[in-house]
Structure 1
Amino acid sequence: MMAKYGVEQAMLNDANPAGDAPADRQIVLDNPWAMERVRLINRIALALGCQLIHLGRDGDGPARRVHIFGYASDLERVELLYTSLLLQMNGGLNAQTVPMRSGVRAWRRSWLLGFISRVGDRIEEAERGAREQARGETTATGRSAALVLADRKSVVERSYRQAYPRARSGGRTTMTGNGYGAGWAAGSRADIGGKRIGRTTAGSIAA
């Protein structure tokens, strides 16, 4: 539903650019697991056609700051989906019992990484499916869905590169602990765009 909505908004606003203009916003992600929250919102942002840069710690505390670029409708989708998945991720992790002889923090972190990997893949798959379904459709201006989405991607990338011309991709994530599989399974069950999305508010994004 969220993926289909994103494509529909892009198509509808092609004839009215002012209705869905490129934008950006900075968000602070608090502890616990601030870096894993960065990874979660980054996977969501990239899947939904946005670009994100991690700016590091926010002040002297453990919180992290990210800067996201995208069209306004896509940024709204990122925040709504992140808020929902963060609640589901926290709830799922809190319900886990760490196996005996496992390092608690390492196991829990690997669980989070498994969850994030799986929901990220599922969101990407949903977005590809929505684009495929829109193939052949045209906007009021006569442009195809593929062209509209490609143009939006180029605009977002240009805005991101203008703001951070020296930005580079992050390094590989190292992982210890054996909770990844359990987290991956939980990510397979997570709601990535059903009826619950939209009932939460973006105000809880740093919760």
Structure 2
Amino acid sequence: MSTSGTVDRAFRSALYDTGDDTLDTGASLLAADPAADAELARRGEDFVASAWQRGWQPADVVRVVRRELDETHARLAGSLIRAQARRDGRARGTRWEAQVAEVPTSDAAARGDRFSYATAVLELYRLLLRLPALEPLDQAAGTSPSGGRERKPESRMLGRIRALLAKAEATGFPEEAEALSAKAQELMARHSVDEALLAAQGAVAEGPDAVRIGVDPPYEQAKAVLLDAVASANHCRAVWNEAFGFSTVVGFASDLEAVELLYTSLLVQATGAMTKAEAAQRAGGRKRTKTFRQSFLAAYAHRVGDRLAAAAAEVPVGGDLLPVLASREVAVAERTDRLFPATATTRLRGVSDVAGWEEGKRAADGAQVRGRRRLP
């Protein structure tokens, strides 16, 4: 039998029927025919290419594979993604290329026996085959002919912001963290205003972009609320996809980078504060549960959202810049509505622990988010 015939038989048995018996049958066929390995890999690359056509991106695929299967399958998916990228040879932009470079890959020496390997491959292919269509993020105004927006090199200011936030997260001295984060906030404000001024002067011609940011369990509802608060304070909009564990954030490129930086930093700070609060609760003889942690993070997100909104409102804007900012807000809203013509609101679940809520509010008040300094 040809190698293509072996793969076809295995697929007929395993991919279109979710039973374990059919999976074992398909894996046995593949395990018995080593010559079919190359054809099996090529078919996997085709599944990956089909996912791109349905709006998925490399980081999205790895995220959903980790969510639904495990790290072994994520590494297999990463190897397919890199192989497909080499075969495709299509320029999709620097953000896409960065995602491809960051995917995990499978070590052939660590695959184990042929039956186990074939089983894992077929489980992965089952998932790839059933991925639904997502909103295509590479169709914004200003995209390159290759289908993806060319990302500008990181500015020196963004590099300084990144370094300041890293130091704020690492230091054990609250006063130092406060000073570092306040400076980072000031630089973020300056960077956003500078980008808007460039647009007003016609030096930059671009439309709003969109990125997907992972919102990982546990307590993903509260984390999604935190990300939404950060996005809103930075002239962006966030739409949470609970089923696949990410939020799509729409905004102009410089603001999106600020959202990613600040959300990651606040999440690190919230996790550290929650760990300390739990330790204090246990030291006082009070056992805390998942409900405590959920309530803590929900309160933290709510309170930080208020503080971010107040900080954003304090940034002075010259009258000549107001029409530019207003047009950018409209552009972001229109792009969001095109991507998501129908959205629904959801209520936070499991927020019932009073102590957790109070501790979360207290931690948010101590988080490194201050009103931005007034700009000259």
Give the TM-score band, short-chain normalised. 0.7 to 0.9
1:38 aligns with 2:232: no
Q: Normalising by structure 2, what TM-score?
A: 0.44
TM-score, length of structure 1 as denominator length: 0.78
Map residues 36-185 of structure 1 onto 2, 5 A cutoff.
36-58=222-244, 64-97=245-278, 98=281, 100=285, 103-130=288-315, 133-136=316-319, 144-168=320-344, 170-174=345-349, 175-178=351-354, 179-185=356-362
Q: Greater relative contact order: 1 or 2 (C-alpha under 8 angstroms, separation 6 or more)?
A: 1
Taking the aligned partners of 2:287 and 2:192, their CA distance within structure 1 comes to 42
Q: How many residues align?
A: 179
Q: Return the alpha-carbon distance in structure 2 between the equivalents of residues 15 and 65 of structure 1.
A: 35
CA pair 81-19 structure 1, distance change in 2 beyond 3 A: farther
Name the structure 2 match of 1:205.
none
Counterpart CA distance in 2 for 1:124 and 1:160 is 20
C-alpha separation between the residues in 2 aligned to 1:19 and 1:74? 15
Task: State the identity as a percent.
Answer: 30
Q: State the 1:19 CA deviation.
A: 5.8
Q: Secondary structure at the match of 1:159?
A: helix
Q: Which amino acid aligns with 1:135?
A: G
User: CA separation in 2, counterparts of 1:165 and 1:4?
Assistant: 33
Aligned-residue CA RMSD in angstroms?
2.1
1:102 and 1:177 in contact (8 A); partners too? no
Change (3 A) 1:17 1:121: farther
> Comparing both structures, which one devotes a greater share of its residues to strand?
1
- For 1:180 and 1:51, the matched residues in 2 are separated by 26
Q: Deviations over 1:128-162 (max 9, x none)?
A: 111xx2233xxxxxxx2221111111000000101
Cα distance in structure 2, aligned partners of 1:5 and 1:164:
28
Partner SS state of residue 57, structure 1:
coil
Unaligned runs of 5+ in 2: 1-185, 372-376
Q: Does the C-alpha gap of structure 1 residues 8 and 78 become closer, same or farther in structure 2, counting only changes over 3 Å?
A: same
Higher helix share: 2
Q: Which residue of structure 1 aligns with residue 195 of structure 2?
A: 9
Separation in 2, partners of 1:189, 1:20:
37
Aligned partner of 1:200 in structure 2 is none
Q: Is the 8 A contact 1:110 1:183 kept in 2?
A: yes
Query: Could you tell me which amino acid in structure 2 is paired with residue 92 of structure 1?
Result: A
Counterpart CA distance in 2 for 1:17 and 1:23 is 18
1:117 counterpart letter in structure 2? H
Residue 193 (structure 1) shift: 6.8
Tell which deviates more after alignment, 148-157 or 96-105: 96-105
Counterpart AA for 1:88: Q
Q: Secondary structure at the match of 2:242?
A: strand
Cα contact 1:161–1:167 (8 A) shared by 2: no
Larger Cα-atom Rg:
2
Give ranges in structure 1 of 5+ residues lacking alignment.
59-63, 137-143, 195-207
